[in-house]
Every structure is written in C-alpha cells, then in structure tokens.
Amino acid sequence: MRILVLLSRVPYPLEKGDKLRAFHQIKRLSEKHEIILCCLNDKKLHPDAISQLKPFCKHLEIIQLNKFSIFLNLLLGLFRLRPLQVSYFHHKMAQKKFDRLIEIHLPKRIFCQLIRTTEYAKKYTFIIKTLDYMDALSKGAERRIENASFYMKPLLKVEAKRLAKYESEIFNHFEQKTIISAQDKKFIQHPNKEEITVIPNGVDTAFFRPMECEKKYNLVFTGNMSYPPNVESAIYIAKKIIPIIIKKFPEIKLLISGANPAMVIKMLQSKNITVSGWVDDIRQSYAAAKIFIAPMRTGTGLQNKLLEAMAMKIPC
C-alpha cells in the first residue's frame, strides 16, 4: 500500500521525541508499504538527513518554510481561531506542493504526525487518513502557564484553549487516530476519544543496552535542551535539587546532556554541573552516570529518555 506520511519536521537527526517516533514508524512501515515522505522544514537541513531517510522512501519531499511567511502566519494567527502551532506550519505554498504530491502519487493512506500538519490533509475525504496526536498539546501548553513569564501567560492561556478546541474538532476529519499514552488520550476533549488507539513509544534495546563506562557523574539528565519542559526541568534540578544534595555530598556531579542548550542552560555550568551540549552518542552520557533523573513538570506524552535509561539499566 502507498502511504503519504506528513511530518512537521525532518526526522533526522534524532534529537527530538517526534523525530525519533516518526523515524522508526517510517522504517517499520517501509518493510511492507511504499512510503511517500513529505517533511516541512524551518531549519537548516542536516547534511546526512536525505541519505538516512531515502532508503525507506519511494519519494522524499522536503518543503522549506519561509521565515517571513512563518512570522506573517503567526501575526495573523493571533486574530484567528486556529492554534498558533497550526498557523506556524500551514502555508499556501506548502499546501500546493502537498496537493501536487497527492495528484502524482495517489496514496491509499495519509498519515499525519501531530495536529500541526492536519490542515494540509483534512480536505481529502476520499482518502483514509490517520492522525498521530502523539501528545495532548493543549495540556502541555496549560501546564506551562504557571511558570511562564508575565507576558507569555496570556498567550499560553489562549493557545491552550485553542489547542483543546482544535484537537476535538480535527478528530472528525480523520478515520484513524493514535496517541502515545492513555493519560494523553484522556485529555483529548472529544466525546468519542475512546476510539483513539494508544501506541506507546518503544526503545531499540539492541542499541540502548548496558555499557561498561567510568562513572564520572552521580546524576544525568538528557534531552533537547531548547525544549521548554526540558529547560524547566534542568533548571529545577540545578536550582532546587542539587543545592540540597550539596549540603550532604559537596562533590555531587550532575551531567546535563543534549542538543541545542539554551543560554539559561549553559549558564548552569559549575563545579558540580557539566553541560555537554550535543553528543555524538547519547549512550555515553547515560553510561557515565550512576543515576538518571527526570523531574518532568510540564511535558506530556511518554519521555523516550526514561525508556532509554531503563534499557541501559541506569537506575531512574
């Protein structure tokens, strides 16, 4: 069967949860189906992305989103009823290219990851469509309100309400729906949410397995360090947890490891805290610590980092 997969990001490198989930879904689906992969992209393309993805795809289309168009969409989105996350990713130019892919390849199924991509596909009533909600994005936005800056609070309140409404409205446009966890499923405000199939994340236990390594650190926290829930968690560990531990164990060592550390994360570097930034093999970060810690306070879904640490038999 020919499946058109639409993603809001190019699923390589695998430094974000949605990329990791999409990459392995595509890899597994390609074993029995033809994959037409369409990725929206607002960043510089990784030099290895195409070579890593092409083996699984009959056709690979990367649609570059223009920065000015994104800004304009967000500005206009403030006065529309759609969530800003949807406005950010939906562009007329990209819609034309997506429509062209439909015309050329005539897919039997359309698979959309996250509600960010659903505007492109919802009009195709003659094609069976699957939406992977992944997380309840509305709940994630709601949880960020309490600790947000004063100027972000009103924006997040509006966005959380819009996301909840959109998550419910888009439900009826897709014949099949999936989500990462039963907890996230409960947060989708649709009367028929029980129709959503829970497909949890997995972990490659052949790759993430116990490793012999010198234990340089007592604690490790991993993830994309520009992602707000990870940023908040890292700050919480550094500012709230580590000072308490230092009183009894002055030599405590924490490793914060992951791509794109925000400036506030870099500033946490100290005698007791190491901020590594991007590492070529995240397994080395797990293996170098005695305990994995992940006090996720605002995120949703199932955190891959927990599965990876457990697969490597690092106490959590």
Q: Identify the structural domains of the chain with CATH numbers, from first to last.
A: 2-198 (3.40.50.11720), 217-311 (3.40.50.2000)
Confidence band for 84, pLDDT divided at 50, 70 and 90 = very high
Contact 283, 208 (CB under 8 A): yes
Contact 188, 179 (CB under 8 A): yes
pLDDT tens by residue, 206-239: 999 999 889 999 999 999 999 888 999 999 999 9
pLDDT tens by residue, 101-147: 999 999 999 999 999 999 999 999 999 999 999 999 999 999 889 88
Residue-averaged pLDDT of the chain = 94
Please compute the mean of the pLDDT values over residues 192-202 and round it to a whole number: 95
d(CA 70, CA 74): 6
Tokens matching residue 103: 């015309």
What lies within 8 Å, CB to CB, of 220 at 6+ separation is 254, 255, 256, 257, 285, 286, 288, 289, 291, 292, 293, 314
Tokens matching residue 40: 């929206």
d(CA 130, CA 121): 10
Confidence band for 148, pLDDT divided at 50, 70 and 90 = confident
In degrees, rounded to 5, the angle at the alpha carbon of residue 159 between the alpha carbons of residues 158 and 164 is 105
Percent of residues, the chain, with pLDDT higher than 90? 84
Query: Regarding predicted confidence, which is higher, 87 or 144?
Result: 87
pTM: 0.86
For residue 301, what pLDDT is reported? 58
> Does 58 score more than 90 pLDDT?
yes
